[in-house]
Amino acid sequence: MAKDKNDRTYPGWMHRLGMARTHRPQIGGIQPREMLRVWAVAVYGLLIVAIVAVFVPSIRNPIVCQTQWWCRHGLTEVSVAGRTEYVGVSGVYPFRPDFRHAMDVLERENAYATKDGPGTYVTVALAGPLSGDEPRMLHRIEGAIAGQHDANHSGLAGNLPRIRLVLANMDSGEGHWKLVADRLVEMVHSDDRLVAVAGMGLSQAETVNAMNEVRALHVATVGDIITADTINHQTYPPFSRVGPDTGQQLDVLGQHLGPRLAGHKAMLVVFSKRTDMYTSALNADFQQYLGGPWQAGGKVIAPFGGNPGNEFPQIVRILCGTRGIDTVYYAGRAADLPLFLTNLDNRPGCAPGAITVVSTSDTTRMLVPTAANRRAWQALRNNERPIDLIYTPLADPMFLAGRAESRQPMAALRGLFDNLGFARADLDTGWAIMGHDAVLTIAQATRTASGNAGNIPPPQSVADQLSLMSTSTTATLGASGPIRLDRATGDRHDLRIPVLRFVPGGRPQVLDVYTPKHP
């Protein structure tokens, strides 16, 4: 009978394995020599796997990481909206090309802070969306470095522990907040000795998610540019804020504009993304503090979101088609404000007359001379269709330079910017001032928590000290003046906030100054 070629006893099969057809004993139907070959192949395969597992990482680092800063410094390469970004925590990596000089300054300052080794310094992280196209992010970083320098060289509440500053980038949209938050948590118990986070990001859901991760270890967050009044010490402890929140800003705008807008009608232009806590807070606060003209205008709300280029012309048509409206409450991000203003400048069918646009601190982005902003400046210069842009800042350097309690520290910060090679114009948006004051506040809380011996305090002790900065004797003297924090909310109190008129290409005009009536 012919043998099936799939039969293992077929001579051709044995010859291909180099085996002669003999009557050797079999084990489980397999010849011993065949079994040896099977085992040899299996062992060889396992050996290859082991070699790859052991040696590939050690090969990857020299080949890739020698040429890639992001790899050498523990960062992760990610894709955000089709753009490559690098996320993680670093004290030297420039997440954007315009950060390079600031990173050189930071590297030198960190070398000074850590020169005596572990036990003599703590780490503070400046966290947020560091790799996007937000022009004020450089200002914020420069201000934080200046605050670190102030803390390490001015004898602020002593000299130890010194402050090491790192940047924690969650990507331009903060989508990788979990990766960064996990790294910050690891740094609490390592030689880094992380004690607090400055900033954490913008007023949005991702920022709050990251805050929740680190506050589980009692790590305090001191907001520099977080303004939504729904984020405070009561909702997300331990949290403090060195600038005015949205409620305080709208309170002040209500005091100034309320009497002037009597008999006028307003519409509310709202960014519709609910996870943006800044614009959601503005929506509520405009209705609370400037609700009269909005109700008189018929409670018109015009939302925009995914495609403002198509939505803004429609919103302008709504404005022009609603009789008597001459005021717009802009509850959106300033990234979209220039486009809105250029659309508002082209308002066919509208009755002649001036339009007043009211907004808050994010408006300072309009001060940066970008192409989009320059087009908006032209719209604001159009005397045939006048547009008045009224807003409140986080901190305005010219206003602060004229006040007795902030004149000297503001002048000192200007001088420090000169010494560090930072542009004075970067102070104009207020983000540098807030970055400086947030880091300085953390540094003072750390030093007072450490005691006379300069020991490393746990994060909880630093958070406790922040809660005690509620009086003039325990306040931090920031560039924006004395920083007194409300014990219940963590918000800054006893603020004096200017109301500004935007001047295209020039310094804003101070219209008046107010103290918020609500804490």
- In this prediction, residues 50-60 reach a mean pLDDT of 40
Q: Minimum mean pLDDT among 36-50, 238-252, 256-270, 333-347: which range? A: 36-50
Given pLDDT bands bounded at 50, 70 and 90, which one contains residue 40? low
Q: Which of 24-28, 85-89, 106-110, 464-468 shows the lowest mean pLDDT across its residues? A: 24-28
What tokens were used for 5? 């070629």
Q: Is the pLDDT of residue 18 over 50?
A: no
pLDDT cut 70: percent of the chain above it: 87
Amino acid at 112: Y
pLDDT in tens, 429-467: 999 999 999 999 999 999 999 998 899 999 999 999 999
For the segment 278-291, the average pLDDT, to the nearest whole number, is 98
- Please choose, from the candidates 403, 400, 462, 466, the residue with its C-alpha nearest in 3D space to the C-alpha of residue 432: 400
What pLDDT shows up at residue 39? 57
For residues 337-365, give the mean pLDDT: 93
Compute CA distances 8 → 12, 16, 32, 42, whole Å: 9, 11, 13, 20
Q: What is the distance between the alpha carbons of residues 246 and 252, in angstroms, rounded to a whole number?
A: 10
Straight-line distance from the first to the last Cα atom of the chain, in angstroms, rounded to the nearest whole number: 101
Check whether 327 has a pLDDT greater than 90.
Answer: yes
**DSSP 8-state code for residue 425:** G
Residues 6+ apart with CB under 8 A from 323: none
Residue 362 DSSP label: G
Tens digit of each residue's pLDDT (9 = 90 or more) over 384-420: 999 999 999 999 999 999 999 999 999 999 999 999 9
Strand partners, 510: 500
| Single-letter amino acid, residue 374 | R
pLDDT value at position 19?
A: 39
Q: 131 is written with which tokens?
A: 């790799």
415 contacts 401 by C-beta, under 8 angstroms? no
Do 476 and 220 meet the contact criterion of CB atoms below 8 Å apart? no
Query: Cα separation of 368 and 386, whole Å?
Result: 22
Q: Give the residue with greater pLDDT, 56 vs 385.
A: 385
How confident is residue 353, by pLDDT bands cut at 50, 70 and 90?
confident
| Out of 54-58, 106-110, 388-392, 400-404, least confident range | 54-58
Position 36 confidence tier, pLDDT thresholds 50, 70, 90: low
Average pLDDT over residues 79-83: 94
Section 365-375 average pLDDT: 97
In the chain, % of residues over pLDDT 90 = 83
Helix crossing, 136-153 with 404-420: angle to 10°?
Answer: 100
Interval 157-172: pLDDT, tens:
999 999 999 999 999 9
For the chain, the average pLDDT equals: 90
Integer CA distances (angstroms), 459 to 123, 155, 165, 197, 242, in order: 11, 21, 15, 10, 19
pLDDT above 80 for 262: yes
138-160 pLDDT per residue, tens: 999 999 999 999 999 999 999 99
Cα 232 to Cα 240: distance, rounded to the nearest angstrom? 7
Q: What is the tens place of the pLDDT at every residue in 470-482? A: 999 999 999 999 9
The CA-based angle 273-220-252, given to 5 degrees, is: 55
* pTM for this entry: 0.88
The pLDDT of residue 44 is 55
pLDDT value at position 59?
Answer: 34
Residue 251 has pLDDT above 80, yes or no: yes
Residue pair 210/174 in contact by the 8 Å Cβ criterion? yes
Q: Has residue 28 got a pLDDT over 70?
A: no
Count of CB atoms situated within 10 Å of the CB of 249: 28
Question: If we measure between CA atoms, which residue out of 494, 497, 492 comes closest to residue 512?
Answer: 497
| Partners of 481 in the β-ladder | 478
Residue 32 has pLDDT above 90, yes or no: no
pLDDT of residue 518: 76
